[in-house]
Copies of this chain bind each other. A is one copy, B any other.
Amino acid sequence: MSDRHEVSHMIVRVARAHQLAATCLLRPLGLYLGQELLLMRLWERDDQSQADLAKALSLDPSTVTRTVRSLEQQGLLTRRPSERDRRALVVSLTDEGRALRDQVEHAWSELERAALAGMPDRQRAETLRVLRRLEGNLTAALPEIRAACPPGVPGDPGDPGDPHHP
């Protein structure tokens, strides 16, 4: 063992186990992983622009675009142009979308229950503290890390010369 990156490894493992469980719990509700987060955000505050959602969920705008469209096709929410800002779209819940709330929250409660199983209150509080600290540390470090992260690709072709034109 003697791993010098144990915390990172554990973060990866915890995340995958959590995702797998969430995927399973969400499936009977007809939702894919990630869609529930968008809905939760809308349950907390309805009628938001996609940009707001992207910011609140720390998601790429393009991801929000596609997930919102998927949820729209499922009839859980609505997209209509904003009147104040003619380039923004306002996302609103439908009755169907509101109706899903209880089930989704129940699923997430099971997830929470599983994660914290067998922990006394003290330990649960400590768990939350630790996670908050990790999140704070990582998001604090992100700007610096991203600054050193050059744009471009992994399989960098070096010089595209003429990257195809419309």
Which A residues form the contact surface with B (CB < 8 A)? 4-8, 10-22, 24-25, 27-28, 30-32, 37, 58, 74, 105, 108-112, 114-119, 123-124, 126-128, 130-135, 137-142, 145-146, 148-150, 152, 154-156
Contacts and interface: CB of A to CB of B under 8 A. Distances in A.
Chain A binding surface, main DSSP class = helix
Given A7-B112, A138-B21, A138-B114, A156 B30 contact: yes
A153 to B, nearest CB: 8
Query: How many protomers of this protein does the assembly include?
Result: 2
Max chain B C-beta neighbours (<10 A), residue from A131, A139, A148: A131
B155 A141 contact: no
Contacts of A140: 114, 117
Contacts of A148: 24
A130 B126 contact: yes
Contacts of A28: 149-150
A117 B142 CA distance: 12
A115 B11 contact: yes
Given A4-B109, A24-B149, A117-B137, A142 B17 contact: yes
A155 B14 contact: no
A14 B142 contact: no
